[in-house]
Structure 1
Amino acid sequence: MRKPKVSDMIPSVNGGEGEVRAFLESLTGPSRGNVNWLVDNALTVSVSEGRVLSLRLKEDLPPHDNDIATLQWADDRYTITATAGRNLWVNGQKTSSTSLNHGDMIEFGEKGPMSRYRLCDHSFPAHHTVEDILSDAYAYTRTSRRPFAKKMSGALRDGGWRLASQTTVLFRITILATLLVIAGFGYLLYQNDRRLAESIEQESRKIEAVAVMLAQTREDALTPDDLSSLRDAFKNQLVTTEQRLGTLEQQAGAPTRVIAASTRSVAFLQGAYGLRHVESRKILRHVVGPDGENLKTPFGQPWIEPDGTGEPAEFQFTGTGFLIAGVPLMATNRHVALPWTSGDREKALRDAGLEPEMLRLLAYLPDQTEPIEARLLRFSEAADLAILEVEPSRVQDLGIPLADATSRVGEELYLLGYPTGLKALIAQAGPGFLEGLEADGTLNFWSIASRLSTQGKIHPLASRGIVARTSESAIVYDAETTTGGSGGPVLNRRGEVVAINAAILPEFGGSNIGVPVSHLRALLEEVESQ
């Protein structure tokens, strides 16, 4: 279908019929977007006080005060001439008269408006091409005499309006669809970035929480203040293990040989576990600075990451275990052998995408200068018990027999263990050992235990208690102990294990809970049946 000719649609200015030779398209001012068709040979151009551009035949008289230029057709082109006393700019150059070429930019007067001159192909220009619109915007910014910021904003505003209103419907739909796709991708990218930022923040909080937990598990790591407190304790005549055993014998009439024989089989357990990142299968390690020092987070906690290059982050712990007579096995609490199962720690680690892994577990026995490597063999699902495997050659002729009968209310019991861990052992070792630590500056979790063992200064503490209540699942007694004593044997007057110390109840006058020895016997039967 042919495009309609202007002669078919628009009457000539003088009332006759004519063909459009060219047109002026207003780019600025109130007439922005309007087209003035150039049909006749001689025309007068006027600009009203409101900056509206209009045309009339040149012979129309009288002249108007708003006349600003004339257009004269000759030699297949229009020549524009400024009216006397009026200013005219063509392509940014001030002129009094010039022949117009296709695409020229004309600025009428000091305040415009600005129009684009175009020759016409005698067909009605129903739509503008994108090239024309962009060309007009470029020509406007190049030739306009307005400040740069204003002409740039004007070009963007007017160009955008023309692209939206003067192009073909198909082009506008295409542009709209493209913009919607871009907006959709932008929204998806924003959502992904937000989720990624939330994930990073969540992982940072998890790592920070793990770092706090790491710091909390280092209660056995000694500080100079701890050494100072121990020195004060020596000044207050802290009793040694032998003195405590002597006092215990005087108060309870317990045979020294029973406690002494049991003491040799009660081990100080020292261990550390690490955390493995489930997704990457990497173990959490310390982040090391340029100087080789372990870095800390802004909150003062150890900085640990799966991609850290330092040593694995150690979650250190201590406890008590004892050898069982007749088998090369050691009994302790489940929460000592699997320390990450205490409280809600295991769930917190699982939610953080981490799984615990034992790095090292050592058992120090009295009268032995070297520790024994221990390994978890089996633990009870029903009771707080675990059995450790140790090297048989290191535990020959050691072990405490297990009682056959359950303790009765009012029966006297004796508890052996290592409450408060390294601090109590240093206190027992005496002032000389403490002075050696201060002189060497040795405060390492592992080296202190090794030094105590080498010097034969690892011995359990003993306390006496009375059975307050018994049941199939627990024995309650009032023997004095504290953290670190978990896993120690609870003995009757015959030196037999009647319970395994498991929990402290300070709100009930220092009472403790032990797991009855019947549960340990059941666990041993499971091991033997394997």
Structure 2
Amino acid sequence: MRKPDANGIRPPQDVKGGDVRAFLESLTGPSRGNVIWLVDNALTVSVSENRALSLRLKDDNPPHDNDVAALQWAGDGYSITAFSGNKIWVNGRLVSSERLGHGDMIEFGEKGPMTRYRICNHLFPTHHTVEDILSDAYAYARSSRRPFAKRMSGALRDSGRRLASQTTILFRITVLAALFLIAGLVYLLYQNDQRLAESIDEESRKIEAVAVMLAQTREDALTPEDLNALRNAFENQIISTEQRLGTLEQRAGAPTRVITASTRSVAFIQGAYGLRHIESGKLLRHVLGPNGEKLQTPFGQPWIEPDGTGEPAEFQFTGTGFLLEGIPLIVTNRHVALPWTSADREKALKAAGLEAEMLNLLAYLPGEAEPIEATLVRYSETADLALLSVDANRVQGLGLPLSDAAPRAGEEVYLLGYPTGLKALIAQAGPGFLQTLEKEGTLNFWSIASRLSFEGKIQPLASRGIVARTSPGSVVYDAETTTGGSGGPALNRRGEVVAINAAILPEFGGSNIGVPVSGLVALLGEVEGQ
């Protein structure tokens, strides 16, 4: 066996199996973290001026000034006795002599150091259990007489150090693996939060896009409030905006020939488009409740999702178009044939990751009981114009001729169209028609138009105006119209199309802007060149 170490205690390497009785672990002071093995029967404990703890065999040397206590083996454990003039605390209690138990906290003197006493059950402890380490930290925090903040920081610091250095390799590997796992979970949670934030942002953009589309739909679709207003107008015999438009010959004595010859070629356009989610490729559909009802968002908008189980969400619109003479094509505005491209709608759709798709596009002609399906052929990149193809067999003998020259300022023009859409048509049909619809319960965007057509009540409204200005890109005139009249023909006295109505300028006394017929001729040239 090797000689005792500087403390007078045999090193653990020299201790034979069964010789180790207990140990002291310093928790504070310069000796913090050091373990002193207790092997011999009688030991003297010394504390230096810098609070370093040391032990030696009791009979090896004469007493020192720094000696504070004696440890004596008593069969199954050690007893500690304070030397005269020294103070010792065991588990926070001042004692002069005490039989030590496993786990006791010993504090030597007013300023420490503090140690933890453990019995080894005659086995050499190469590692400490987590329970022991945490128990030490708790006992230290509870029994130490140091300030609370220092007690807690010391307990946390020492328990962390001991967990990292005095536990088994397997435990440390397990802890590292757990830390890596926690770090991985934190990263996954962060990624999930990012995706959730992006999803919320995308959802908000989608809601914004849908709101923009619904704003236009509300202008064209019938609402219960619109029908109530029409009913009240009929009951009170009030002449509504739609009725005041009247036909041209009733209001201004315009040539009956032009109106009569042109009316059957002016189409009422009715359509609806949906929104497709680009990433999933799915159309947005209504989300249904448990009873099959269409649900709404907290903002009062329809709740529509790519994975909705209801019908595709429809964004409805109406407009005006006219047939070309000798060609089975309907002319209208680009913003009528592609309503999602006007204003800020296209930008809102792109930001929301959506694209519009036409679901249904119909053209109703005066005198025809059934609508004609229409398909977009081409639209102009520079002018507000679009061409729709229709069944040639359904439009034989119809169509308007085009003027060879632009109108001059001061010339009269006659504007045909369907301003305010279905509202004006119901107003023209009279109170009896509205009562029939209400009785049958067919107050539906599609069914109303179908019933109007079947009963021969689809007729364009006409108004007269004077050309104020003509330029290569526009014709400005004051013929009266409103929303829904876009795409209608502006005719000269010979019944030739001189412009295609495109926009209203209410700030200029109700003036309207039309696309010159030269723009239409250029677009037709593009189609022929295909």
Q: TM-score range by the shorter chain?
A: 0.7 to 0.9
- Which residue does the alignment assign to 1:312? 312
Q: CA–CA distance in 2 between the matches of 1:277 and 1:32?
A: 65
- Which residue does the alignment assign to 1:197? 196
* Residue aligned with 2:362, SS: strand
Q: 1:298 to 1:431 in 2, by over 3 A?
A: same
Q: 1:218-242 deviations in whole A, cap 9, x for unaligned?
A: 2233233212222333312458599
- Which residue does the alignment assign to 1:244? 247
- Which residue does the alignment assign to 1:92? none
Q: 1:469 to 1:139 in 2, by over 3 A?
A: closer
- Which runs of no fewer than 5 residues in structure 1 stay unpaired? 90-94, 123-127
8 Å Cα contact 1:215-1:302 kept in structure 2: no
Quote the offset at 1:136 in angstroms: 2.6
Which shows bigger deviation, 183-192 or 314-323? 183-192
- Which residue does the alignment assign to 1:72? 73
Q: 1:6 to 1:432 in 2, by over 3 A?
A: farther
Q: CA–CA distance in 2 between the matches of 1:373 and 1:334?
A: 17
8 Å Cα contact 2:501-2:515 kept in structure 1: yes
Quote the offset at 1:486 in angstroms: 0.5
- Which residue does the alignment assign to 1:438? 438
Q: CA–CA distance in 2 between the matches of 1:179 and 1:56?
A: 43
Q: CA–CA distance in 2 between the matches of 1:509 and 1:226?
A: 26
- Which residue does the alignment assign to 1:529? 529
Among 6, 10, 14, the alignment partner of 2:6 is 10
- Which runs of no fewer than 5 residues in structure 2 stay unpaired? 83-87, 92-96, 144-150
Q: 1:481 to 1:87 in 2, by over 3 A?
A: closer
* Residue aligned with 1:218, SS: helix
Q: CA–CA distance in 2 between the matches of 1:305 and 1:321?
A: 33
- Which residue does the alignment assign to 1:125? none
- Are residues 1:263 and 2:258 paired? no
Q: 1:247-278 deviations in whole A, cap 9, x for unaligned?
A: 3442xxx3212101101111110000111111
Letter of the 2:133 partner, please give it.
A
Quote the offset at 1:243 in angstroms: 5.5
Equivalent residue runs for 1:309-348 within 5 Å: 309-348=309-348
Q: CA–CA distance in 2 between the matches of 1:490 and 1:464?
A: 9
Letter of the 1:80 partner, please give it.
Y
* Residue aligned with 2:459, SS: coil
Q: CA–CA distance in 2 between the matches of 1:325 and 1:11?
A: 117
TM-score (norm 2): 0.80
- Which residue does the alignment assign to 1:491? 491
Q: CA–CA distance in 1 between the matches of 2:251 and 2:490?
A: 15
Q: 1:497 to 1:292 in 2, by over 3 A?
A: same
Q: CA–CA distance in 2 between the matches of 1:380 and 1:283?
A: 27
How many residues are paired up? 498
Quote the offset at 1:365 in angstroms: 0.9
Letter of the 1:246 partner, please give it.
E
Q: CA–CA distance in 1 between the matches of 2:347 and 2:300?
A: 24
Q: CA–CA distance in 1 between the matches of 2:174 and 2:288?
A: 53
Q: 1:13 to 1:386 in 2, by over 3 A?
A: closer
Quote the offset at 1:72 in angstroms: 2.6
Q: CA–CA distance in 2 between the matches of 1:35 and 1:43?
A: 15
Q: 1:108-137 deviations in whole A, cap 9, x for unaligned?
A: 69x996412348999xxxxx85x4243633
- Which residue does the alignment assign to 2:205? 206
Equivalent residue runs for 1:367-386 within 5 Å: 367-386=367-386
Which shows bigger deviation, 426-435 or 205-214? 205-214
Quote the offset at 1:158 in angstroms: 4.1
* Residue aligned with 2:3, SS: helix
Which shows bigger deviation, 356-365 or 506-515? 506-515
Equivalent residue runs for 1:314-463 within 5 Å: 314-463=314-463
Q: 1:181-214 deviations in whole A, cap 9, x for unaligned?
A: 5676456335412321221111211221133124
Letter of the 2:132 partner, please give it.
D
Q: 1:243 to 1:195 in 2, by over 3 A?
A: closer
- Which residue does the alignment assign to 2:286? 286
Q: 1:329 to 1:241 in 2, by over 3 A?
A: farther
8 Å Cα contact 2:498-2:517 kept in structure 1: yes
8 Å Cα contact 1:489-1:499 kept in structure 2: yes
Equivalent residue runs for 1:75-86 within 5 Å: 79-81=77-79
Q: 1:9 to 1:114 in 2, by over 3 A?
A: closer
Equivalent residue runs for 1:127-142 within 5 Å: 131-134=127-130, 136-137=132-133
- Are residues 1:24 and 2:20 paired? no
- Which residue does the alignment assign to 1:117? 119
Equivalent residue runs for 1:210-225 within 5 Å: 210-219=209-218, 220-225=220-225
Q: CA–CA distance in 1 between the matches of 2:392 and 2:374?
A: 11
* Residue aligned with 2:318, SS: strand
Q: 1:36 to 1:8 in 2, by over 3 A?
A: closer
Q: CA–CA distance in 2 between the matches of 1:241 and 1:365?
A: 22
* Residue aligned with 1:309, SS: coil
- Which residue does the alignment assign to 1:468? 468
Letter of the 1:478 partner, please give it.
D
Q: CA–CA distance in 2 between the matches of 1:415 and 1:145?
A: 93
Quote the offset at 1:37 in angstroms: 4.0
Q: CA–CA distance in 2 between the matches of 1:396 and 1:242?
A: 30
Letter of the 1:244 partner, please give it.
T
Q: CA–CA distance in 1 between the matches of 2:2 and 2:507?
A: 102
Q: 1:68-87 deviations in whole A, cap 9, x for unaligned?
A: 8842387xxx6434769x99
Quote the offset at 1:432 in angstroms: 1.1
Q: 1:87 to 1:210 in 2, by over 3 A?
A: closer
Quote the offset at 1:363 in angstroms: 0.5
Q: CA–CA distance in 1 between the matches of 2:138 and 2:379?
A: 85
8 Å Cα contact 1:69-1:80 kept in structure 2: no
8 Å Cα contact 1:82-1:88 kept in structure 2: no
Letter of the 1:10 partner, please give it.
A
Quote the offset at 1:351 in angstroms: 2.4
TM-score (norm 1): 0.80
Letter of the 2:194 partner, please give it.
R
Q: CA–CA distance in 1 between the matches of 2:226 and 2:464?
A: 27
8 Å Cα contact 1:24-1:115 kept in structure 2: yes
8 Å Cα contact 2:128-2:166 kept in structure 1: no
Q: 1:264-317 deviations in whole A, cap 9, x for unaligned?
A: 111110000111111111011111111111110111101111111111111111
8 Å Cα contact 1:25-1:33 kept in structure 2: no
